Amino acid sequence: MQRTRIFFTGVGGQGTLTATKLVSLTALDEGLPVTSGEIHGMAQRGGVVESTVLIGYLSPKITHGEADVLLGFELLETLRALCYVKPGGKLLSNSEALPPLSVATGKADYPSLESVRAKAQAVASQAWFLPCRTLAEKAGSAQSANTVLLGAACAAHALPFGMEALERSVRKYLKPALAEINLKALALGAEAVRG
């Protein structure tokens, strides 16, 4: 078994924790020794949400330079969490932005996709940036942007299990009404990586 640390980051309301739970449940169903961590605190809607999935470790925490994989559900948050990535790790990120209040009110700047890509490529061995929300809308619901990224991560061999296991989990753990949309979202994410 390959020990793996996966770091998730996103913005409250994006389904970051749902994605984390889905990965953990799939790992458990695959018989892998999984531990996951999440910090709920004052993260109200619109605050930063960070969580972890670890395979083969006891601790649920990931510190700087320890993550084999970074999954960024929002571009600015990907950049903020870049220091968690182990040199040579993998990175998958949403390329689309959710501007924080200071940006929305014109008091702060938002980094360009190109600048984040350049910084990510300097650390990670492989980095993918996908328009998750746009692909999710194509799948049938903007809410499934989180599964778009999971599909992409799976196709990039960044998760400790294959696409079939992930599809099984989507059918098993998501509400039946949402399963079809999310299966399509997984496929669109995977396709975006495979190009």
Which residues would be at the binding site for other proteins (CB under 8 A)? 11, 20-21, 24-25, 28, 33-48, 57-61, 63-66, 76-77, 79-80, 82-87, 99-106, 108-111, 119, 122-123
Minimum CB–partner distance for residue 9 and other proteins (Å): 11
SS3 134: helix
Question: Residue 38 or residue 167: which is nearer to other proteins going by CB?
Answer: 38
Question: Residue 109 or residue 164: which is nearer to other proteins going by CB?
Answer: 109
Minimum CB–partner distance for residue 195 and other proteins (Å): 27
Question: Residue 165 or residue 191: which is nearer to other proteins going by CB?
Answer: 165
Exposed/middle/buried for residue 11 (C-beta within 10 Å: 0-12, 13-18, 19+): buried
Sequence-ordered list of residues with C-beta below 8 angstroms from that of 95, at least 6 positions apart, any chain: 75, 113, 129, 130, 131, 132
Question: Residue 51 or residue 192: which is nearer to other proteins going by CB?
Answer: 51
Minimum CB–partner distance for residue 81 and other proteins (Å): 9
Orientation angle between helical segments 145-155 and 132-139, nearest 10 degrees: 110
Secondary structure of 41-92 as H, E, C letters: CCCCCCCEEEEEEEECCCCCCCCCCCEEEEEECCHHHHHHCHHHEEEEEEEE
Minimum CB–partner distance for residue 56 and other proteins (Å): 9
